[in-house]
Structure 1
Amino acid sequence: MASTDIDPLLLLRQSIASGSNIIPTTSADASSTDVPEASLSQATHLVFTHPARVAVPIDAPTRFVSNDKPVDVRSIYFAWLNREVAIPEYNASATKLNEELPGATHVHKFAFVERLELFTWLEGASEESEYIKPLAGDKDAAAAASAAAASAASKTAPVLASSRAGRGTLDPRLAQIYNGERRMGDRNTVLHGFKPTDFSSIRKQAQQFMSRKPSPAAAATAAIAAAGLGNPSLVINQKPQRRPDPIIMLSPSASALLRMSNVKAFLEGGRYGPPDHSSSASMMHVSRVMKDIDPGRPMRFILVEGPEQFKPEYWNRVVAVFTTGQAWQFKNYRWSNPSDLFKHVLGIYLGWRGEQPPDSVRAFGHQVISTAVEKWHDPTRLGAESSRWRDREVVESIWKAIEVHMRHKGWRKDTAPTQI
């Protein structure tokens, strides 16, 4: 495989999907099957074994861009190796690795959303990301085809036998036939011009022949043209921004019934199980179709236990907060006072059926809904499984409350609220 054809980011994604080995080494020879493995602070190359054995320089830039700078292969691979650890532990490990690296070399520390976008793309759950540039072969394919067609059409020189140097000699009679051809172009060639053409004046004249009630696009065009904002077609044809993912916050309390280890099975599968307190995951995502907001596609929700890596604008995406009633949970929140917090965000308390919610939860007010599941029993116990059928009913009530709150705050099919 030629070096110009190697895309480290795509190789890493393919290797993860196939479960093949990725070996950091100090050797650039990928042909040997006995490559000595080295630490990331000493390695000079990463050897990929799928779909072919390829050695990639570990400091090579990738298509992942952060703050307008491409992130190197070492930083991408190091972040993937630490995908299961909490963000503070990841930052500490990155600082330690930077101290071991020679010279001015250092690994990039990914922000909260950057890590989530990177892991989602590498796992194959997403085909695009705002941080990952498209491959050169896919970018502006239509423009490249148009330019190639225009270039071919502009060549009017006769086809000579000598012009096929390196590809064999062309028969003189066939060359004469080629010279008599009339070169045809496609619509891209015919419409190709030297500069963009502004058709805004034509739109103004056409509006009087259109229906009495103009379409939203025509109304927007007229408003932009009247305001003198330049070419309205450039504004209207802009690609709409992607709707951000809403965020649900969990309680980090050890007494919480929902933690990172069991929340996905509960919210997506409709079945409660006890949390695994040995789990160190700091974030994950679940999918849910919100019929009253976007019935055509599932909506992805980001689940976190704390706001340590939050930027100020992330708070506008928080749609629900699970709480146990302990006020210390909100210490680092944008609104540390529970009465202020639950004026902006829906609160959810999950307890055991038959037990009263704590007094602190009831004091938070009506913006905190109280739900309850059947107490967990050992599955081997007789009748333990029969009590779990109510779990789905509780999950549906939680999602319904979240959906109503999101609609009230301004979540729509293609837009999200800019302030809550």
Structure 2
Amino acid sequence: MTSSISLLRTAIISKKAIKLIPEGATISDAKELAIEGQPLLSLDEQTGFVNQEDNVNEALRAVYQCWIHHEASTTDYLADCEKNSIAVINFLERTELNSYLSGSSDTCKYLATSDGNKKLEAAGTTTSTENRTNGKKSTSKRGETSESSLGEMHKRQKIIDSDPFLKSVLENEREIVDHNSALRGSKPVKFANLAKECEYKIVRPLKRETGSSRDSGSKAHRHHHQEHVDPHSLSVVLKHKDPIIILSPSASALINLGNVKNFLENGKFVDTSIEATQGSAGSQNVVEIVRNSKKFNRKIKFLVVSDVDRFFTKPEHWDRVVAVFTTGQEWQFKNYRYSRPNILFQKVKGFYVHYNEDLIPPSIKGWNLEVIPIERSRRFRDKQTSEHLWEILEKFMATKGYK
């Protein structure tokens, strides 16, 4: 029998009509998925896609929710999942799943029932199906071993012993730490930064509003304003204040305080390891850059810093950060508000600038960075590269509410 995720993939590739049943229902209220030319699929049916976060076989509802938001930002996807009480699939797994569903990739390593999987997994799936057909209902919770699971293990071992080739393959396999476990580590998580963020973004604004509301007319006006303006949007945070760009303090960084103004304002890149411009940067803590933005139809002043310990004396400085340049070294984020790169670059736009023939470190591929290649010798390309970087940054600022 063809799995539900395979039917969904086939429908997406062939651009067949897909709709929720009952019609007009939201993803959380719908019961079934209707695909043109196919029987109705239950949204609660397991798909074989295993969420590595908690080792759960996800239902069709979570998989279809992921596809619905394949062009949306991570923030919008997380917000909609929370609103509809649907399981969240992390960034790397979601990217691979969407590539598989769209047909860009023929396989998905998180899909237990995808083509090309080991015979061992196929045998386990068949055994589980036979047990359900015979009316054997599993009552064990995740992580508990029951008699039926022990029986499955014996059957799987029997299949392995009967196939010498499969046995030799399994003997050479080794388990590796998954991406999330490697990033999480064993240290306890501290939420001091979250408490500060709540203090400055929620508690203090509420106190100011309470103190300034003197009459019912002003209260009604403020309530109407709050319904239309997000207090956390950049248009509110950066009102009468300049946005901030953080550079990497690393000596290997191509963009530093000595050449950033020339590159971002004039579209000219100067290699500070060759020309003696670094000396002028050594006496500077902050560089001001003025951008004549066509997207926002006005001039915008940006403050560029590299030493956050010296410049970021108030928590509100972090609210004004719109971009971070990095060389891929995690020590750079040690004293940041968000010290984990995969969280930091969901809040601000991240850039990795490198010479186009240099290799990109594999560690940054899961950080959601924009990779900006620079020509080593052809300087006429610098203006195009600079404008491309500005286009990405201004588009990000617009999505965050900047006007």
TM-score of the pair, normalised by structure 1: 0.38
Max Rg structure: 1
Higher helix share: 2
Please report the TM-score for the alignment, with normalisation by the length of structure 2.
0.39
